[in-house]
Amino acid sequence: MLHHAADDTIPLLEEARRVVKPDGRVVVVEDLRADDAAGLRHQDSEHKGCPRRCVFRTDNEWRAIFRRLGLRVESTAAPPRDCIPHYQVDRALYKLNS
Protein backbone atom coordinates (compact mmCIF):
# COMPACT_ATOMS: atom_id res chain seq x y z
CA MET A 1 0.00 0.00 0.00
CA LEU A 2 1.95 2.93 -1.33
CA HIS A 3 -0.09 5.49 0.63
CA HIS A 4 1.94 4.35 3.66
CA ALA A 5 5.19 5.08 1.80
CA ALA A 6 4.30 8.80 1.56
CA ASP A 7 7.42 10.61 0.31
CA ASP A 8 9.16 7.31 -0.50
CA THR A 9 6.58 6.37 -3.14
CA ILE A 10 8.62 7.68 -6.08
CA PRO A 11 11.86 5.92 -5.07
CA LEU A 12 9.93 2.67 -4.50
CA LEU A 13 8.37 2.84 -7.97
CA GLU A 14 11.74 3.74 -9.50
CA GLU A 15 13.23 0.64 -7.88
CA ALA A 16 10.33 -1.51 -9.12
CA ARG A 17 10.94 -0.20 -12.65
CA ARG A 18 14.68 -0.85 -12.33
CA VAL A 19 14.36 -4.49 -11.24
CA VAL A 20 11.53 -5.58 -13.52
CA LYS A 21 12.61 -7.61 -16.55
CA PRO A 22 12.54 -5.91 -19.96
CA ASP A 23 8.93 -5.72 -21.09
CA GLY A 24 7.97 -6.86 -17.58
CA ARG A 25 5.00 -5.64 -15.62
CA VAL A 26 4.62 -3.72 -12.38
CA VAL A 27 1.26 -4.11 -10.62
CA VAL A 28 0.02 -1.46 -8.20
CA VAL A 29 -3.17 -1.80 -6.16
CA GLU A 30 -3.82 1.35 -4.19
CA ASP A 31 -6.50 3.12 -2.16
CA LEU A 32 -7.51 6.27 -4.00
CA ARG A 33 -7.99 9.61 -2.30
CA ALA A 34 -11.58 10.03 -1.17
CA ASP A 35 -13.51 12.59 -3.18
CA ASP A 36 -15.81 13.90 -0.47
CA ALA A 37 -15.51 15.21 3.09
CA ALA A 38 -16.98 12.07 4.69
CA GLY A 39 -14.58 9.83 2.80
CA LEU A 40 -11.59 11.99 3.72
CA ARG A 41 -12.57 11.88 7.41
CA HIS A 42 -12.91 8.10 7.16
CA GLN A 43 -9.46 7.71 5.58
CA ASP A 44 -7.92 9.99 8.20
CA SER A 45 -9.57 8.18 11.12
CA GLU A 46 -8.59 4.74 9.79
CA HIS A 47 -4.92 5.77 9.60
CA LYS A 48 -4.52 7.77 12.83
CA GLY A 49 -2.38 5.09 14.47
CA CYS A 50 0.02 4.73 11.55
CA PRO A 51 3.61 5.59 12.42
CA ARG A 52 4.03 7.51 9.15
CA ARG A 53 1.89 10.11 7.44
CA CYS A 54 -0.30 8.54 4.76
CA VAL A 55 -0.59 10.18 1.35
CA PHE A 56 -3.62 9.27 -0.73
CA ARG A 57 -3.63 10.21 -4.40
CA THR A 58 -6.29 10.49 -7.05
CA ASP A 59 -6.31 8.38 -10.20
CA ASN A 60 -5.02 11.38 -12.18
CA GLU A 61 -2.16 11.90 -9.72
CA TRP A 62 -1.15 8.23 -9.98
CA ARG A 63 -1.22 8.36 -13.78
CA ALA A 64 0.97 11.50 -13.77
CA ILE A 65 3.50 9.78 -11.48
CA PHE A 66 3.58 6.69 -13.70
CA ARG A 67 4.12 8.85 -16.82
CA ARG A 68 6.90 10.80 -15.13
CA LEU A 69 8.66 7.53 -14.26
CA GLY A 70 8.26 6.08 -17.75
CA LEU A 71 5.72 3.45 -16.64
CA ARG A 72 2.91 3.00 -19.17
CA VAL A 73 -0.54 2.07 -17.86
CA GLU A 74 -1.38 -1.10 -19.75
CA SER A 75 -4.70 -1.76 -18.01
CA THR A 76 -6.68 -0.82 -14.94
CA ALA A 77 -9.37 -2.38 -12.81
CA ALA A 78 -11.43 -1.36 -9.80
CA PRO A 79 -11.14 -3.98 -7.03
CA PRO A 80 -14.19 -4.29 -4.76
CA ARG A 81 -14.62 -1.46 -2.25
CA ASP A 82 -15.49 -3.92 0.49
CA CYS A 83 -12.37 -6.12 0.63
CA ILE A 84 -12.04 -4.81 4.18
CA PRO A 85 -15.69 -4.71 5.32
CA HIS A 86 -15.61 -1.50 7.38
CA TYR A 87 -13.25 0.40 5.05
CA GLN A 88 -15.27 1.52 2.05
CA VAL A 89 -12.88 3.37 -0.27
CA ASP A 90 -12.28 3.33 -3.98
CA ARG A 91 -9.25 1.37 -5.05
CA ALA A 92 -7.43 1.07 -8.33
CA LEU A 93 -5.36 -1.73 -9.78
CA TYR A 94 -2.83 -0.58 -12.38
CA LYS A 95 -0.90 -2.98 -14.60
CA LEU A 96 2.13 -1.03 -15.78
CA ASN A 97 4.60 -1.77 -18.53
CA SER A 98 8.16 -0.59 -18.00
> Among the listed ranges 35-39, 40-44, 85-89, 91-95, which one has the minimum average pLDDT value?
85-89
pLDDT at 84: 65
Q: What is the pLDDT of residue 82?
A: 66
Are 25 and 96 contacting, i.e. CB atoms less than 8 angstroms apart? Answer: yes
Q: How far apart are CA 20 and CA 22, in angstroms?
A: 7
**60 pLDDT more than 90:** yes
Q: Is 13 in contact with 26 (CB distance < 8 Å)?
A: yes
User: Is 43 in contact with 96 (CB distance < 8 Å)?
Assistant: no
**What pTM, to 2 d.p., does this model score?**
0.83
